[in-house]
Amino acid sequence: MQPDTPILEMRNVVKDFTTGGGFAKTDIFRALNDISFSIHKGRALALVGESGCGKSTCARLITKIYEPTNGQILFRGKDITEIKGRQEVLNYRKSVQMIFQDPFGSLNPTHTIYHHLARPLLLHGMCENNKVKLRTRVEELLEMVELPSLTADKYPHELSGGQRQRVNMAKTLAVGADLVLADEPTSMLDVSIRIGVLDLMQRMKKEFNLGFLYITHDLATAHYIAEETAVMFKGQIVEWGDTTEVINNPQHPYTKLLISAVPDPDVRFADVIKGDLDYSDNAHHIRSISSAHSQQVKQVNHNHFVRQLAG
């Protein structure tokens, strides 16, 4: 892999789903249309958009749950459709880990935290099957995610949502992941503990040189964690580039609409579009003009691009 080769690259990816049209008729629904982006080690890309825009479908394609209809997904420069066979897929899934929105659902209530961390260590050959060595490694992992070593003996129900999300992060470190797909990892947590989990993700990114795909509907947290942002709407990326550029100089009406909806008074994103059209009052119109697929892209700055409206 060249030093500047992205850890993951989506190239013009299309994903169609077949849906029942009734009476032996099938309809095709295009969930992703011409999606391209790159993720680099030690950096985060935020994929931002409302529910149903296709964010999780991107993650499911990357984890090989779905196959793309068209286009390519490259991991360390290699097309992931060529990753076949049990061992190869297992190795790939070790390198590409997911952290889900629901920290409750991703841990088995019948097992201790020790089990949750020792199992992937053994499964992926990351530690010798030796009681003392495993215990030491599990405690190290807990320390890395700022949890006390005694957490190992607890069950998931004894932990808070934020602590459980930290255990999920420790699982990604246990297997030595290169890329983390974090799908709304803080949206089910209390606002007061979100920042701690985001700070930990920042630290993991820098200290362990992990690449992050941070999936969110929330521009404020994207701003906090991601160097780059791609704004999605109805299966298309409408604007992308350096996060500060996209947020401080938004070009696409849908990005401006998202910014106008940021409620946090401390994050004065709304000032960015002051004097412009009242985006909240024109939401319906903006969504309708942003829906059509367009192939025309304008470069706004060195790393800032906007898709032109169709027609």
Ligand X SMILES: Nc1ncnc2c1ncn2[C@@H]1O[C@H](COP(=O)(O)OP(=O)(O)OP(=O)(O)O)[C@@H](O)[C@H]1O
Q: Does 51 help bind ligand X (rule: CB under 6 A)?
A: yes
Rounded Cα–Cα distance for residues 86 and 68 (Å)? 20
The helix/strand/coil state of 224 is helix
Instruction: Name the helix (H) or strand (E) containing 44.
Output: strand 44-48
Choose between 113 and 179: whose C-beta lies nearer to ligand X. Answer: 179
Interface residue with ligand X among 55, 94, 164, 223 (CB under 6 A) is: 55
Distance between CA 229 and CA 263 in Å, rounded? 19
CA distances from 114 to 17, 21, 79, 156, 261 (A): 39, 48, 35, 10, 42
Using CB under 6 A, count the residues that bind ligand X. Answer: 12
Which of residues 53 and 219 has its CB atom nearest to ligand X in the complex?
A: 53
Cβ proximity of 170 and 114 under 8 Å? no
* Edge-first strand listing for the sheet containing 44-48: 96-99, 179-183, 211-216, 44-48, 228-233, 236-242, 304-307, 297-301
Write down the least CB distance from residue 79 to ligand X, Å. Answer: 22
Within a 13 Å sphere around the CA of 120, how many CA atoms are in the beta-carbon half?
A: 25
* Residue 4-43 contact track with ligand X, rule CB under 6 A, x = bound: -------------x-x---------x-x------------
Q: Does 236 help bind ligand X (rule: CB under 6 A)?
A: no
Chosen residue from 12, 28, 52, 122 binding ligand X by CB under 6 A: 52
- Considering only the stretches 49-57, 80-88, 142-150, 199-207, report the one whose residues sit in contact with ligand X under the rule CB under 6 A: 49-57
Q: How far apart are CA 99 and CA 94, in angstroms?
A: 13
Q: Which residue is nearest to ligand X (CB)?
A: 56
Of the pair 151, 165, the CB lying nearest ligand X is at 165
Q: Which helix (H) or strand (E) holds 119?
A: helix 113-123
Give 17 or 303: the residue with its C-beta nearer to ligand X.
17
54 binds ligand X (CB under 6 A): yes
Query: Among residues 2 and 51, whose Cβ is nearest to ligand X?
Result: 51
Report the nearest approach of ligand X to the CB of residue 274 (Å): 29
| 116 makes contact with ligand X (CB under 6 A) | no
Is residue 46 within 8 Å of residue 110, measured between CB atoms? no
Q: Which residues here bind ligand X, judged by CB under 6 A?
A: 17, 19, 29, 31, 49, 51-57
